[in-house]
Chains A and B, each alone.
Chain A
Amino acid sequence: MHELSVSSAIVETALRHAAGRKVSVVDLRLGKLRQVVPESLTFYFEIVGRDTLCEGARLELEMIDALMACRECGHRWDPAPQPEHGEIVGGDLLLPQFRCPECQAAGAEVLQGNELEVESIEVNENQSDPAPPPMAGPSGTGREAEDSAGVI
């Protein structure tokens, strides 16, 4: 359930960069070596964003495969291949393997797969005279009446 904390951190990061503008999309790069559950992250992101400028924003996840590089022999491999959603695969094929499968050396370097990075955000730029969005509230509000009166 640390996805709640992670979601809060994502929203805070987005809000800081949005600098007062409404956020519509947050692009996140999520490495497969992180133990962050995408569905859970999306769920909490929606909740944490409520009553902020991230309310209603879409969290776009780009999943990043893991990639290791052996410091001894240079071999590169995915240490934690994952089955497709719901697929059940037997045997050793999908067991994590962080020791180099070629030369058996320890101490390989993680090239990618640890990402938890807000890559970019999309914000709504208001015009110089901001108006409430047409579908935002119930019709026949006082503001609408005021505008009409102004036109007349």
Chain B
Amino acid sequence: MHRTKIKVAEDALDANTTIAHANRADFDREGVAVVNLMSAPGAGKTTLLERVLADRGETRVGVLEGDVQGSMDADRLSALHIPVVQLNTDGGFGGECHLDANMVRSALPDVQLGKIDLLVIENVGNLVCPAEFRVGEDAKAMVCSVTEGEDKPLKYPLMFRTCDVVVVNKTDLLPHLDFDLDLLLHNIDRVNPEATVMQTSARTGDGTGAFRDWLLGVGREVPVPA
């Protein structure tokens, strides 16, 4: 017996990327824009979606709701009378801490792409793992709330770097916190100087219009608001 070295030179996540491309081809064929929305647990993704999708105009929006367990978020968003598909990662996916292209693909038959213009994929709450896996999206956005601390962009740079839009949420709490908003913005700029940064309070609605306009405009060549 002897050993042979074999040249591979292949990205380990090629298989995920291939499936992400297949997802993207399906989205494009049906004319569906797709946004991958990520954050730490409890940053306010669902509340932000409740707020902005209540005012979605003519856009037909669907949500793919990723969670390890439970359907609380899907139940909340269903109240908006939009199609919501729950994708639990503990059901056959080992309780994964993120959605990958294959998990999203498995849910597409339920999503009914032909009936929507925009699909929002609300990823599993986690600042590390979801950033590594493409799912076939047009754009990535993240929510970062002011209760999480100014240092998070420095601690989780990949998540902040990978997103086109960073939403700084829960700004209504700023008067009650020892939180340096300028420092957070500076730290976001350090890791992703090209990100579009928005400040919102999903609770009061303050600033959410800009995020709604961006979200509903993804895939439609609408300029990002300044």
A-side residues, CB < 8 A to B, are: 1-2, 4-6, 9-10, 12-14, 17-18, 21, 24, 28, 33-36, 80, 95-99, 106-107, 116-127
Contact = CB atoms under 8 A, between A and B. Distances in A.
Task: Identify which of A5, A13, A127 gathers the most chain B CB atoms within 10 Å of its CB.
Answer: A5
B193 A120 contact: no
B100 interface: yes
Nearest to A115: B11
Nearest to A10: B12
B3 interface: yes
Given A13-B12, A117-B12, A1 B6 contact: no
Given A116-B11, A119-B8, A120-B8, A9 B16 contact: yes
Contacts of A122: 3-6
B29 interface: no
Interface of B: 1-16, 94, 96-98, 100, 128-129, 131-133, 154, 156-158, 161, 189-194
Nearest to A23: B6
Contacts of A117: 9-12
A47 B2 CA distance: 25
Contacts of A118: 8-12
Contact of B98 (A2, A12, A24, A125): A2
B158 A12 contact: no
Q: Mostly helix, strand, loop or mixed at chain B's interface?
A: mixed
A116 B4 contact: no
Nearest to B130: A2
Given A2-B98, A4-B94, A5-B100, A120 B12 contact: no
A124 B132 contact: no
B158 A35 contact: yes
Contact of A17 (B1, B8, B131): B8
A30 to B, nearest CB: 9
A12 B6 contact: no
A98 B191 contact: yes
A116 B158 CA distance: 14
A35 B14 CA distance: 17
Contacts of B190: 95-99
B97 A6 contact: no
A95 B154 contact: yes
B6 A2 contact: no
Nearest to B156: A35
B6 A17 contact: yes
